[in-house]
Amino acid sequence: MAKQKEHSSKLYYSISEVADKFDVSNSLIRFWETEFDILKPKKNKKGDRRFTQRDIDNFKIIYHLVKERGFTLDGAKKEIKQNKERLTQKFDSIEKLKEIKGFLLELKEKI
């Protein structure tokens, strides 16, 4: 499962930071980059990948479909192609609900 969302003002994230955030290997990120055209990290002159927040948001959708919901890669590609807007809205709603749940659990512990 993806690690909790961290609020950051960084513009770019390294492949290692993204891998740590989702608890996956760097090679899986590189593989999914070749499989999913919505992942388009920038590369510097050395060839190091630099992921934007948009790339991370797209990776979250792929991770959710493949790792959490059990889609095949082809099934995830098809789902993203047909319903990306709806998936993004649904995923954002789920993330907000998780944040609210966390806040409420913290509040409950303090009482």
List Cβ neighbours of 88 (8 Å cut-off, separation of 6 or more): 57, 61
pLDDT digits (tens, 9 = 90+) for 9-28: 789 999 999 999 999 999 99
Query: What distance separates the 2 farthest-apart alpha carbons in the chain?
Result: 53
At residue 62, the pLDDT reads 94
Percentage of residues in the chain with pLDDT exceeding 70? 93
Structural domain boundaries of the chain? 13-110
CATH topology of domain 13-110: Multidrug-efflux Transporter Regulator; Chain: A; Domain 2 (1.10.1660)
84 close to 49: Cβ distance less than 8 angstroms? no
pTM: 0.75
Mean pLDDT of 81-100: 87
Is pLDDT at 107 greater than 60 in this prediction? yes
